[in-house]
Amino acid sequence: MNKWEKYLFLHGEKQIRSMLPQTRLMTADHLQELLQKHGSIILKPIDGSGGRGILLVTSAENDRSLVQITLTRQTAANHELFSVLANEIMRDYIPYLNEIDIRQLLAASYIIQQRIPLVEAEDRPFDIRVMVQRKNDSPWTVTGKLAKWAGSGYAITNVNLGAAILPVETVLERSPLRKHSQKALLSHLDEAALLVARRFQQRFPGIRELGLDMCFDPQGNPWIIEVNFKPHDYLFLALEDQSMYQAIQEYRGKEGEN
């Protein structure tokens, strides 16, 4: 499943739907619709990973929008926004394509997503990687959680763009959510992750693990940003406490036993 297919599948579950950022395929109409509705959106490759190809668009004054690509920012008039983004995304192919081809390729290769206002810790946003695993027919279990804390100046939290790996509790204590019960926040996060795992098990009965990128909004509500079927575990090696990494390996090592 690509990002769009995962979104549609999860959106079909009522309990999960409210935790998903609104998502559309990239068309000029969808671009204007989501930008007007949410004020800030993210464009992602439908099959991308590692933060590559992500663009952040935010409404600005005087019918203009701010476009951010990693640390580079530029403004564009709203009536030219789709063309500006198309030129950025398809820059290597623009000379060889007509407008119809460009629009069809963008709709097939990019999604537009409501940007969830991530809680910040010391003026840097963070999200949370949650690992859920099971052994054979046993129930799903949350075996690990860590925070990805964006690098200075970055709006996204990918490690290859300078994000730091920290315990979730540490980052929560540095954020406005320290006023909330950590136990309650993390319990809601776990419940959401387990709902997602059980949902995907309906489609893929043999699935044994998932890695979810999740976040909290300023009100402490959990959101599901992305789901990975083949999550990397190396992020957990960056934590001083190796118990979660060891738990993940233990689940992987015994998944074929009865």
Residues 45 and 127 in one domain: no
Report yes or no on 6 lying in a domain.
no
Q: What percent of the chain is predicted at pLDDT more than 70?
A: 96
Domain final residue, candidates 89, 114, 139 = 114
pLDDT digits (tens, 9 = 90+) for 26-76: 999 999 999 999 999 999 999 876 667 889 999 998 889 989 887 688 899
pLDDT-based confidence at residue 120 (cuts at 50, 70, 90): confident
Would you report the helix, strand and coil content of the chain in percent, each value rounded to 5? 40, 25, 35
Residue with tokens 């999740």: 214
pLDDT of residue 183: 94
Number of domains in the chain: 2
- Please list the residues that pair with 56 across neighbouring strands: 42, 68
For 169-185, give one letter per residue: b (16+ CB within 10 A) or e. Answer: eebbebbebeeeeeeeb
Residues 91 and 167 in one domain: no
Q: Identify the CATH number of the domain in which residue 46 sits.
A: 3.30.1490.20
Collect all residues with Cβ–Cβ distance below 8 Å to 116 and sequence separation of at least 6. Answer: 21, 215, 217, 223, 225
Q: In terms of Cα–Cα distance, which of 209, 51, 215, 199 is closest to 126?
A: 215
Distance CA 250, CA 245 (A): 9
Arithmetic mean of pLDDT over the chain: 90
Residues 96 and 149 in one domain: no
Residues 170 and 145 in one domain: yes
pLDDT digits (tens, 9 = 90+) for 197-247: 999 999 999 999 999 999 999 899 999 999 999 998 899 999 999 999 999
Report yes or no on 10 lying in a domain.
no
Residues 36 and 55 in one domain: yes
Residues 56 and 99 in one domain: yes
Q: Is the pLDDT of residue 258 over 50?
A: no
pLDDT of residue 35: 95
Domain final residue, candidates 114, 140, 156 = 114
Q: Is the pLDDT of residue 153 over 90?
A: no
Q: 205 versus 92: which is more confidently predicted?
A: 205
pLDDT of residue 256: 40
What would you report as the CA-atom Rg of the chain, rounded to the nearest whole angstrom? 19
Residues 186 and 240 in one domain: yes
pLDDT of residue 62: 87
Q: Could you list the residue range(s) of the whole structural domain that residue 55 is in?
A: 22-114
Classify residue 39 by its DSSP letter.
S
Classify residue 21 by its DSSP letter.
P
**What order of strands is seen across the sheet that includes strand 64-69?**
23-25, 110-114, 40-45, 55-59, 64-69, 72-77
